[in-house]
A and B are shown apart, each in its own frame.
Chain A
Amino acid sequence: SQQGEEDPQALSIQEGENATMNCSYKTSINNLQWYRQNSGRGLVHLILIRSNEREKHSGRLRVTLDTSKKSSSLLITASRAADTASYFCATLTGAGSYQLTFGKGTKLSVIP
Chain B
Amino acid sequence: GAGVSQTPSNKVTEKGKYVELRCDPISGHTALYWYRQSLGQGPEFLIYFQGTGAADDSGLPNDRFFAVRPEGSVSTLKIQRTERGDSAVYLCASSLSLAGVYNEQFFGPGTRLTVL
Residues of chain A at the chain B interface (Cβ within 8 Å): 2, 4, 30-31, 33, 35, 40-45, 48, 50-51, 88, 90, 92, 94, 97-105
Q: What chain B residues lie within 8 Å of A33 (beta carbons)? A: 104-105
- The reply to whether A4 and B42 form a contact with Cβ atoms under 8 Å apart is yes
Q: How far is the CA of A98 from the CA of B32 in the complex (A)?
A: 10
- The reply to whether A103 and B101 form a contact with Cβ atoms under 8 Å apart is no
Interface bin, chain B: 20 to 34
B116 adjacent to chain A (CB < 8 Å): no
Contact with A along B43-62 (1 / 0, CB 8 A): 11100100000011011000
Q: What chain B residues lie within 8 Å of A94 (beta carbons)? A: 101
- The reply to whether B107 and A40 form a contact with Cβ atoms under 8 Å apart is no
- The reply to whether B105 and A50 form a contact with Cβ atoms under 8 Å apart is no
Q: What chain B residues lie within 8 Å of A43 (beta carbons)? A: 43, 91, 93, 107
- The reply to whether B104 and A104 form a contact with Cβ atoms under 8 Å apart is no
17 contacts between A and B (CB under 8 A): A2-B44, A4-B42, A33-B105, A40-B89, A41-B110, A41-B112, A42-B91, A42-B110, A43-B91, A43-B107, A44-B107, A50-B101, A99-B45, A99-B48, A100-B43, A102-B35, A104-B40
- The reply to whether A97 and B56 form a contact with Cβ atoms under 8 Å apart is yes
Given A90-B42, A100-B43, A100-B45, 16 additional A-B pairs, CB 8 A: A2-B44, A40-B39, A41-B112, A42-B91, A45-B104, A45-B106, A48-B103, A51-B101, A92-B101, A98-B48, A98-B55, A99-B48, A102-B35, A104-B40, A104-B42, A105-B42
- The reply to whether B109 and A41 form a contact with Cβ atoms under 8 Å apart is yes
Given contacts A42-B108, A50-B101, contact A99 B56 (CB under 8 A): yes
Residues of chain B at the chain A interface (Cβ within 8 Å): 31, 33, 35, 37, 39-45, 48, 55-56, 58-59, 89, 91, 93, 98, 101-110, 112
Main secondary structure of the interface of A (DSSP, over half): strand
Q: What chain B residues lie within 8 Å of A101 (beta carbons)? A: 45
